[in-house]
Structure 1
Amino acid sequence: MAQSSLCGNLQVEIETKAPAGKLHEAFCKAYDIPKACPEKVKSVDLQEGEWGTVGSITTWTYLIEGKPEICKMMTEAVDYDNKSQTFKTIGGDILKYYKSFKYSMKVIPKDEGSLLHISLEYEKLNNEVPDPNSMLDLVTSSCKDVDTYLTRA
Structure 2
Amino acid sequence: MGITGKLEIEIDIKHSGDVFHELFGCTPHHVTNIVPHIIHGCDVHEGEFGKPGSIIQWEYTLDGKKCVAKEIVEEIDEEKKLIKFKLIEGSDLLKDFKSMSVTLHVVTKGEIDAILWEINFERFDDFGLYPTGLMDFIIGMTRDVEAHHVK
TM-score after normalising by structure 2: 0.92
> Hey, what's the Cα distance between the residues in 2 that align with 1:142 and 1:12?
13
Give the alignment of 1:79-118 within 5 angstroms. Answer: 79-93=77-91, 94-110=93-109, 113-118=112-117
Match of 2:14 in 1: 17
Give the alignment of 1:107-146 within 5 angstroms. Answer: 107-110=106-109, 113-146=112-145
Deviations 1:16-52 (A, max 9, x none): 1221212210111211111221111111111111112
RMSD across aligned C-alpha pairs, in angstroms?
1.4
Match of 1:150 in 2: 149
Runs (4+) off by over 6 Å: none
Task: Using the aligned pairs only, state the percent identity.
Answer: 28
Post-superposition offset of 1:126: 2.0
- Point out where structure 2 has 5 or more consecutive residues left out of the alignment: none
> Hey, what's the Cα distance between the residues in 1 that align with 2:32 and 2:118?
21
Deviations 1:54-83 (A, max 9, x none): 101101111111001111000001101110
More moved, 17-26 vs 79-88? 17-26
> Hey, what's the Cα distance between the residues in 2 that align with 1:119 and 1:127?
21
Post-superposition offset of 1:148: 1.5
More moved, 35-44 vs 95-104? 35-44
